[in-house]
Every structure is written in structure tokens, then in C-alpha cells.
Chains A and B, each alone.
Chain A
Amino acid sequence: MGFLHDLQTYAFLQKAFVTSIMVGIICGVIGSFIILRGMALMGDAISHAVLPGVAISYMLGINYFYGAVFTGILTAFGIGAITQNSRIKSDSSIGLVFSAFFALGIILITKAKSATDLTQILFGNVLAVRSSDMWLTLAIGSLVILVVIIFYKELLVSSFDETMAAAYGLKVRFIHYAIMFLLTLVTVASLQTVGVILVVSMLITPASTAYLLTNRLSIMVLLASFFGALSAIIGLYFSFEYNMPSGPVIALATTGLFLLAFLFSPKQGIVFRKIKAFNRKKLA
């Protein structure tokens, strides 16, 4: 296959390949916890809110990582502050905060850089991954995976039954912000591959697909990583072979996998449920 040959030949394609896989894995891992905690919207919010940070980093001439993490965290705290200190519901405060950050980001980016850069940040361009981006992604990925392995027990109990976790003395507020921090890191790592707008599809869709297929959190996390990585590779392939923007292709790939699970999953799939219901009726 041409793609495999090119993969062996071109260093830039190898970097893109490694980066995509890592992005797919960590999005699946963090995405699993995000959807179980009912924070899917939060993922969307953080990913949009890193934009002004990226812009400011360009202006200051520093790595976009620092600015992005800074505004990502600021957003998480802003949303938390509004939800806890007023009667505004959390989905409203999420929408309120992230649209403001996103708007600010667009204005700053158009001031700071050309329109092509904006497109790349918004929609991803996996083929433009540089060595430094790849190493950054690998570092973030290792950190995320390590934290999840070490604190798996605490993540499980605080996601499943936050009240019990708090009752036995876990700092659930701290855990919430720690997850927001990891989410911000993952988003930043995904910027090159999927872009700001579609990071949310990488976070939510592979995890949702996995959710339909298993009754165990550990397996859900593994499956979500696998689906994330697979989608990222599909995105890379189309991006390279057909010159398509990687973000949208990845998003569609995650959706395709989701639809397969939605229709054919043995436990939850609607096709099997219909067949079972039909057989039951026939017997009756």
C-alpha cells in the first residue's frame, strides 16, 4: 500500500502518525471520564477557550502551549465560580464563558497572524506537526496516562458517586479541577491534529462508542483509546492521500465508529434489540 510505504519514507508523516495516535489515546482516556461526569459540554468549552491563549502566545513569541493552558484553566475556574456563586445553571455558565473566550480568541488571532493560521488552529493540520509538537504531545500523553493509572481508584469513585467520595474525605473539588487541567492539556495536545472546533468530537465520540460496548470502566477507557487512535489514523490517511483537512475527517471517522456500535452493539445496539423483541413476539 502506498500509504505504508510513504509512512516509512517521510519523517514528517511519521511525526504526524505518532502524534495522531497519542492524541487519539489520550482523548479517549480523558473523554471517558468527561462523559461519565456529565461534562461533555465542558470539553467543548475548554477547547474553544484555549484560542485567546494561543493568540497571546504568538504575540509574545512563546510556545502556544503556555498561553493555551493558561486560558483553559482560567475558563474552568470562571465556569466553576459562576455556577457555584449564582443561580445560573452550569450549562448556561459554560456557554457564557466559552463564547466570550472564543470571540476574544478570534479577534486576537486575526490581529496576530494571517487567516491561514486561523484555519489551521480551528480545523487542524496534522501534516504540519513539527518535532517539538510531537514531543510535547508525547510528554502530555505520558503525564495524562500516568495520572489516570495512579489515581484510577479516586477517579472512579469520584465520577461514580461524588457524595461518597467527599464523605470519606476525598477532595472532590480538587479532583474536578485536576481533571479540567488534564482536559486542557489534552486539548492543547490535540490542536494540531483535530483543531479547536472539533476536539470535542475526539473527546466525546470514541468514549461514547466505548460506553455502548462495555459494563466496566477500565475496558471503556481502553476501547475509547483504541477508537480514538483508529479515527486519528483514518484522519491522517485521508489528509495525506486526498489533501483533506484532518480535523473534519477524524470527526467523521469517530462518528462512523459510533454509528456501527449504536446499530450493532450486542448489548445496546438497536438492531439486536429489535431482533430480540421480534423473536420474543414470535414466541409469544
Chain B
Amino acid sequence: MSDIISVKDVSVSYFGKQVLEDVSFEFKSGNLIGILGPNGAGKSTLMKAMLGLIPKDKGTIEINSKPLKVFRKKIAYVPQRSNIDWNFPITVKDTVVIGTYPLLGLFHRPRKEDKEWAMCCLEQVGMVDFADRQIGELSGGQQQRVFLARALAQKADYFFLDEPFVGIDVSSEDVIIGILKKLQSEGKIVFVVHHDLTKVKNYFDELVLINKQLIDAGPVQKVFQSENMTRAYERPVSMLSDLGVEM
């Protein structure tokens, strides 16, 4: 599998207020890509635009020169935690079973093997013991792992995660990053929205740095350097050096 996802000249606005301006970049299979930028930079918006969830003013998003829509069922999306109703009457296991829905299509119910596959995905994130819990009865890190399991259940080729590392414990963080690196080594393309700068170098090989406009995109060594970061974060450079930014 060697695919190319390319984003060309994408602009997005909400009610006339522009939040993304002419963003373009390209990535190949087998990459784990961080989408980086300060709060309100338009990271979630970029991700939603890439998935075709919100209308664009202009621009194209393609996989191998075909519109991304064609590949919908090969895409798994893990929403920002704040967008989920954690009181919803659903168990951990049933949440992961939802991951099998896209491939089932209309009129088909999840079969026994789909449920077994869901349990297998739960196993991978170390959450089997919690299968019958209501999703609100978990810690933040556990919730994030369950949603990652749901994404795995989709058997997707392209993964989009919005702020998976916010407010989670160290062991969940290890599990999640381990799985993302494994997906990368299997040749998948994984995009991760991220705004905390401390672990950027441990997590990602490639970066997209935005603040309304694209600041830079490419390998971490190239993008994660002081001039770019100062432009994106509008912060003094001295603080950035502590975070491992190239000076």
C-alpha cells in the first residue's frame, strides 16, 4: 500500500469568518503526522474539512488523486473527548461494536464475529475487563482507549484523532502511542491533532504546523524549529528551547 493524501489550497470559514486560509500539504502511507498549533488555530476545523464534515470555501482533499469521499469507509475518526455525551446509555463493548457498522452497511446487524472482533480490538487497548461498563464510568485515558479500539474495529487505512492525549494518564498514553506507531509501521496514515508541545518529538515524525494559515509541513526536524514555532504560537523563543525545539 502506498497512498498519498494531498490537501490543496483549503480555505474554510464559519459564518463569513475565515478560520483556514489556503492550507496545502501532502503525506504518504506509513506516516504518523501531528497537526500542531495553538488553541483556536483551526486544527479541528482542518481535520473536519479533510473528512468532508464541514463545507470548504475552496480547495481539494484527495487520496491518490481521487476525492476523499470515495474512501469514506476506510477512514476512522476519533472525536475530541469533549464532543461525546459520556452519559449516553451505552457500554464499552457496544461502543467498539459501532466500529464495525461502516463495513456492515445498511440493514445488517452486527453478527457474532463482529462482536468477537470488537472484543479483540478492546484487548489491544487493554480494556477487556471494562467491556460491560457504561462509558461514563471510565477515566479519561480509558475512554480515549475505548475510542481508539472503535477506530481499530473499523479496519481503516486512514486514521484521524482529535486531541487524543488531552487529560489522560501515563499508561493510557503509552498504550495509545504504541498502537499509533504500530499502525504507522503497517503502512497506514495517521493524523493526530495535538496542541501540547512537550512530547512532540517523542510522538511524531512528521508535522503540520498551522495557525489559520499553514506555517510549515514536513519532517519534525524541519518544522519544529524556533522561527516557525514563534510564528505559530506568538510566544518568546526562550520558553520553546526547553521543549526540544531546534534553535
Could you list which residues of chain A lie within 8 angstroms of chain B, going by C-beta atoms? 36, 87, 150-154, 156-157, 159-161, 163-164, 166-169, 211, 214-217, 219-220
- Which B63-117 residues have C-beta < 8 A from chain A? 69, 72-73, 75, 77, 79, 83-85, 88-91, 94-95, 98, 101-102, 104, 106-107, 109-110
Bound Cα distance A166, B83 (Å): 14
Q: CB within 8 A of B77: which of A154, A167, A216, A219?
A: A167
Given contacts A164-B79, A217-B88, 5 further A-B contacts (CB under 8 A): A152-B109, A154-B106, A160-B88, A161-B79, A168-B102
Interface residue count on the B side (C-beta < 8 Å):
31
B154: A residues at CB distance < 8 A: 168
Those 7 A-B pairs whose CB atoms lie nearest each other, nearest first: A168-B102, A215-B134, A169-B72, A167-B77, A167-B51, A220-B89, A217-B89
- Which B39-83 residues have C-beta < 8 A from chain A? 48, 51-53, 69, 72-73, 75, 77, 79, 83
Q: CB within 8 A of A167: which of B75, B84, B89?
A: B75
Bound Cα distance A219, B102 (Å): 24
Bound Cα distance A163, B160 (Å): 12
Assess whether B15 is in contact with A163, with CB atoms less than 8 Å apart.
no
Assess whether B72 is in contact with A167, with CB atoms less than 8 Å apart.
yes
Assess whether A211 is in contact with B53, with CB atoms less than 8 Å apart.
no
Assess whether B79 is in contact with A163, with CB atoms less than 8 Å apart.
yes
Assess whether B109 is in contact with A153, with CB atoms less than 8 Å apart.
yes
Asked whether A150 and B88 contact (CB < 8 A) given A157-B98, A163-B79, A169-B73, the answer is no
Asked whether A215 and B15 contact (CB < 8 A) given A167-B77, A169-B102, the answer is no
Assess whether B72 is in contact with A157, with CB atoms less than 8 Å apart.
no
Asked whether A150 and B53 contact (CB < 8 A) given A160-B88, A163-B77, A211-B89, the answer is no
Q: CB within 8 A of B107: which of A87, A150, A166, A211?
A: A150
A163: B residues at CB distance < 8 A: 48, 53, 77, 79, 83
Of B79, B88, B95, B106, the most chain A CB neighbours within 10 A belong to B88
Could you list which residues of chain B lie within 8 angstroms of chain A, going by C-beta atoms? 15, 48, 51-53, 69, 72-73, 75, 77, 79, 83-85, 88-91, 94-95, 98, 101-102, 104, 106-107, 109-110, 134, 154, 160
Looking at the assembled complex, report how far the CB atom of B94 sits from the nearest CB atom of chain A, in whole angstroms.
7
Bound Cα distance A164, B52 (Å): 11
Looking at the assembled complex, report how far the CB atom of A176 sits from the nearest CB atom of chain B, in whole angstroms.
15
Assess whether B72 is in contact with A160, with CB atoms less than 8 Å apart.
no
A211: B residues at CB distance < 8 A: 89
A167: B residues at CB distance < 8 A: 51-53, 72, 75, 77, 160
Bound Cα distance A166, B104 (Å): 15
A169: B residues at CB distance < 8 A: 69, 72-73, 102
Residue of A nearest to B87 (CB): A211
Of A163, A211, A215, the most chain B CB neighbours within 10 A belong to A215
Question: Could you list some 27 contacts between A and B, CB below 8 A?
Answer: A36-B88, A36-B89, A150-B107, A153-B101, A153-B109, A154-B106, A156-B90, A156-B98, A157-B98, A160-B85, A160-B90, A160-B98, A161-B84, A163-B83, A164-B79, A164-B98, A166-B53, A167-B77, A168-B154, A169-B72, A169-B102, A214-B89, A215-B134, A217-B88, A217-B90, A219-B89, A220-B89
Bound Cα distance A154, B107 (Å): 9
Looking at the assembled complex, report how far the CB atom of A244 sits from the nearest CB atom of chain B, in whole angstroms.
34
Asked whether A168 and B72 contact (CB < 8 A) given A161-B98, A216-B90, the answer is yes
Bound Cα distance A178, B160 (Å): 29
Looking at the assembled complex, report how far the CB atom of A135 sits from the nearest CB atom of chain B, in whole angstroms.
29
Bound Cα distance A156, B97 (Å): 11
Residue of B nearest to A268 (CB): B87
Looking at the assembled complex, report how far the CB atom of B70 sits from the nearest CB atom of chain A, in whole angstroms.
10
Residue of A nearest to B80 (CB): A163
Looking at the assembled complex, report how far the CB atom of B47 sits from the nearest CB atom of chain A, in whole angstroms.
10
Assess whether B89 is in contact with A157, with CB atoms less than 8 Å apart.
no
Looking at the assembled complex, report how far the CB atom of B98 sits from the nearest CB atom of chain A, in whole angstroms.
5
A152: B residues at CB distance < 8 A: 109
Residue of B nearest to A151 (CB): B106
Looking at the assembled complex, report how far the CB atom of A40 sits from the nearest CB atom of chain B, in whole angstroms.
14
Bound Cα distance A169, B73 (Å): 8
Q: CB within 8 A of B104: which of A150, A153, A164?
A: A153
